[in-house]
Structure 1
């Protein structure tokens, strides 16, 4: 029975160590930073949509206020969404939904553009890296990596052509 207890406690310590190693990896920290920046970026996009794009769309559509586009499910009619909420009415806020969809589309476009830019930059660096001349070669006999100017393999001593 003592062996079983030892194996369970050692697995627990191993699991804790594995979790600590997982948390301390660079990928997890990068992901956490990305989530935090994404949250802040989402606020910027929301402000862009609410404060700049929606007023322009409202002017183009003849003064339609998307935030006051709703259907009241209790049969009463209210002038604004705020008035309906104050009265405790149940509403379908499709105007707010339209605003959120526009938010999402703008966020997706910006993220797509950022990923596209990052991919082109990384492709440029990979192309530069690929153009560097080779400094090593592989020995045809022992498959060891050797200097490109070597005439004899230092590992198996075979002559190289």
Structure 2
């Protein structure tokens, strides 16, 4: 059983997943800070200084803090939007690099293509 576990734990996918989770946690902190420290204060200014976390409903001695829930919902959508935007930028840069890689054609390769095309046309005209 120990050998089986070692084979499973040392597989590339498990290690890749562990690295992804660690990097994802660090990236999550960056995005959360961006939302909490930059976006939300700016949004608060635009909304006239309203803080959702202060909203609550008192029922007797109990307080239902629905504002905290609303704040978490807004945070979720903002974080999801920021991650979407970052991934979109990354994909665009990735595509630009692919296009650049495709554009670079070796001169010898281009010359061989021209010779091939000339031979095709020559063979078609001689038939």
Q: Do the two structures share a fold, i.e. TM-score over 0.5?
A: yes
Cα-to-partner distance string for 1:69-108 (whole Å, 9 max, x where unaligned): 12233x25xxxxxxxxxxxxx4332222222223222332
**Following the alignment from structure 1 to structure 2, what is the Cα–Cα distance between the partners of residues 28 and 56?**
40
User: Hey, what does 1:100 align to over in structure 2?
Assistant: 72
User: Hey, what does 2:114 align to over in structure 1?
Assistant: none
- Alpha carbons 1:71, 1:93 under 8 Å: kept: yes
Cα-to-partner distance string for 1:114-147 (whole Å, 9 max, x where unaligned): 444555527938x84xx9x8xxxxxxxxxxxxxx
CA RMSD, Structure 1 to Structure 2 (Å): 3.0
- Specify every segment of 5 or more residues in structure 2 that has no aligned partner in the other structure, as ranges: 110-127
User: Hey, what does 1:152 align to over in structure 2?
Assistant: none
User: Hey, what does 2:98 align to over in structure 1?
Assistant: 124
**1 or 2, which has the higher helix percentage?**
2
Cα-to-partner distance string for 1:45-75 (whole Å, 9 max, x where unaligned): 22222222222222222221222112233x2
Structure number with bigger Rg: 1
User: Hey, what does 1:5 align to over in structure 2?
Assistant: none
- TM-score, normalised relative to structure 2: 0.58
- TM-score, normalised relative to structure 1: 0.49
- Structure scoring higher RCO (CA < 8 A, sep ≥ 6) equals 2
Alignment of 1:5-154 (within 5 A): 13=1, 16-73=2-59, 75-76=60-61, 90-117=62-89, 119=91, 121=94, 124=98, 128=102
**Following the alignment from structure 1 to structure 2, what is the Cα–Cα distance between the partners of residues 106 and 32?**
26
**Following the alignment from structure 2 to structure 1, what is the Cα–Cα distance between the partners of residues 5 and 77?**
36
